Structure 1
Amino acid sequence: MNAADVTTAYLPFLIQILLAGVITVVVIALSHLLGQRARGSKIKDAAYECGIHSDGSTHTRFSVKFYVTAMLFILFDIEVVFLIPWTFVYRDFLANHISILAPMMFFLGVLVLGLFYEVKKGALEWEK
C-alpha cells in the first residue's frame, strides 16, 4: 500500500475531524460574540430560568437515592448495550458452528442476579 492509497483511504476520516474542529471553533466564537454578557453585574452569576430571576436558593440538594438510581440505570444500560453486538454476530457464529449462547446466558444471569440484589437491598425504593 503506497502513500496515495493511504491518503485516499483516510481522507473521509480526516475531513470529518477537520469539519468537527471547524464547527466547534465557529460555535464557540459565535457564542462568545453573540451571547448575552453582563459584565460587572450580578446577572452573570445568577441562575437564569425563563427570564425570571429566582427568589430562593439556586443550589438545591438532591437525595443520595437519586444518584444511586442514576448510577444503577447507567450500569444496567451499558450492560444491555453489550448485547447488541452479540445479536449482530450470532448468525455468523452459528454458521461457523460456534455456540455463544452459554456466554450470553451467563452474562444475562449475572445481570439478573445484580438486579435482584439491588431490589432486595432496597436500592430502587425512594422512601423508607
Structure 2
Amino acid sequence: MVDLEQYLPILIFLFIAVVLSAAFVFLPMGVARLTGAHAPNAEKLSEYECGFPAFEDPRSQFDVRFYLVAILFLIFDLEAAFLFPWAVSLGETGWPSWITMMVFLVELIVGFAYAWKVGALDWD
C-alpha cells in the first residue's frame, strides 16, 4: 500500500503555486479596474508591434529565409550554451575533448560561411 502522506508536501507546494500564480494574474487586473486605470480606447487597442495596421492575411506563408535565419540563430545560440560547460570541464576531459570541440567549431564556421556565400542571410 502506498503511503499517501508522502505526497502532502507536494500538494501543499502545488496549492501555494496555484494561489500565487492566480494572484499575480488577477490581482493587477482587479486593481486596475478599481483605480480606473483600465480604460480601453481606440488608441490603446490599436496595433503596437510595427506601428501600422496589418495589410496581408495573417495566415500567409513566411519566406524560407526567415526560417533559415531562425535555425542559424538557434544553432549558434546552442553552440554558446555548449561552450561554457565544455570550458569548465576541460581540465578533466583533456585533449580529446579539446580536439572534438575544435572539429565542432570548424564545422559550424564552414556551415556559416556556406550560408553567407549562398546569400541565405541577405534580405531583398
RMSD of aligned C-alpha atoms? Answer: 3.9
Partner of 1:29 in structure 2? 26
Moved over 6 A (4+): 14-19
TM-score, length basis structure 1: 0.56
Secondary structure at the residue paired with 1:112?
helix
Q: Is the 8 A contact 2:47 2:53 kept in 1?
A: no
**Superposed CA offset, 1:54-112 (max 9, x none):** 7x515678x73455434422321122211111001001223xxx631121012112211
Shift of 1:18: 7.1
Q: Which amino acid aligns with 2:93?
A: F
The yes-or-no answer on 1:104 pairing with 2:96 is no
Unaligned regions of 5+ residues in structure 2, if any?
1-5, 33-37
Aligned letter for 2:23?
Answer: V
The residue that corresponds to 1:116 in the other structure is 113
Structure 1 CA distance for aligned equivalents of residues 12 and 106 of structure 2: 44
- Select 2:53's aligned residue among 47, 53, 57: 57
1:34-66 CA-to-partner distances (Å, cap 9, x unmatched) read 34365xxx75x93365xxxx7x515678x7345
C-alpha spacing 1:69/1:17, structure 2 compared with 1 (3 Å): farther
When normalised by structure 2's length, the TM-score is: 0.58
Tell me the residue number matched to 2:46. 47
- SS state of the match for residue 122, structure 1? coil
Provide the C-alpha distance between the structure 1 equivalents of 2:12 and 2:101, rounded to a whole number of angstroms. Answer: 38
Matched residue, 1:4: none
Equivalent residue for 1:76?
76
Contact 1:47 1:58 survives alignment (8 Å): no
Q: Look up the equivalent residue of 2:83 and give its one-letter code.
A: L
